Structure 1
């Protein structure tokens, strides 16, 4: 079993191990360098060659499988970036090994699994968090603060879309039920999780979905109500959408332009300009054009708030998890497991409705 050498200066840092070598794992490895108190300690893959190549580029020790990674005492925390349907079993083993755990969204594929995993982590007093990186971005922190301060007045509604066209392929993870496919788990989760983060748990849930030939959801419409404030959310693999998110208030609106999941700016508009932007955002093409233009050119009646940062943006999620682990917490304040479970419950409820 390999062991990494820890220098005296590293004793206070959290040594992260990554399970998986895909795109999101590489982004995690790149962004961890921006986080004080965190370091990449190792990576595991189903192929030792892939893990070795990954470590040659990003650092850390290569492990032939995640069991070997979990056995190393120099691994303090684990980021699980493996296929969706493997999240539960790997997270369970990591918790059993007393490793702090951050799971790339979705936490797991069913609410029942989420409940079991949360109970096990609580029993073992081990940190567990779902990695919905959007929640931790500075732009989202600004939006939540603006809502709380009443900057846009009384809340009226939320609208959001997240859709990326994918050619149908029954073997692709997006369309394969065995790999946890479907637009709700892949895209709709961001919309629901962000809505819950901003407004709490909804009172009512309705919606509709359309299946791909494999039976997973190709697209879905989600309608939530938060104390009378409606949220209209759309996701899908059938098109490339405007991929924006809007919070409308009585005195104006906040817009997270495309792609909102990695927001680096927020547009704030009064009622008149907000109505115009709302009309533009109904069309995905005009929504993307408007977003690009407004980033570069000031638009009368639109206040721009920029939150640029280095890297991809996962460092804020990594930083929050690292801080919570160092504080001895078993959950992160801004990503409680109750909200992860509620999100999965909502996605399951949408899927329980007859398909269209």
Structure 2
């Protein structure tokens, strides 16, 4: 994907506060209201959500069918647990409070201010998709509901875990009659995708010393057969655009959701070095700068943002491919 614009990070600053009435794209934004959420712990799923970051801790994903479904939304900031304020508490304190709730928990959460409108998807469409406002995969994540490790194909027995390119996961219960196509059609409905013919499910297989490879799954294949493959516990299942359109602009006209998914997937592929030797370092650095700018805008940082700040808060590995990190000096990186 080409990057048409580059914004210097040293000039990015935010000075607004949560108490103010914001204006985004000329429209007044009223401060989001806190919500009180009460949940009972499920013996298998726990409270059914994954949280990450800190000060405040943020809900990263919600487990389908779990106690949090319909109550929490990805991006919710946890500001109070039971009667204790935690918006400025260390992550370890939040973990302890959640773990100490053996039967039920009372959370006070708030959605952050809406991010600037996407050039590709309307605000209404974004609300319908309930997409994560920060489209990166965070390196440090707190798993507080007892999930199986991330390298497992299954969330639990007969429940497939599917990874989306925006960092979210979706879980699907299946039986002997469930096919790959059934999962794809369900995802089409959940994500409001029109041009589903470009999408498929793929298995990522990682091997020591040789990176990873992606295996395309035929839509008529049964999930039970897929999960019984040798080494399936070392695999992940991804929902990807596997059949890339000849003209991305035409895809934008036909399906803005699919177009943005392709853009996010392409950014991830650059960082994961799936383009191999075809990757141009200069293009990779410019794309990284653009992604850093988008992240700082969507998280609405209240201070002047620099490369040093980005490195401290999120790490450069989220934006820059390893080969670029090791082969180019920091001075060269700062220049871009």
Please report the TM-score for the alignment, with normalisation by the length of structure 2.
0.30
Please report the TM-score for the alignment, with normalisation by the length of structure 1.
0.29
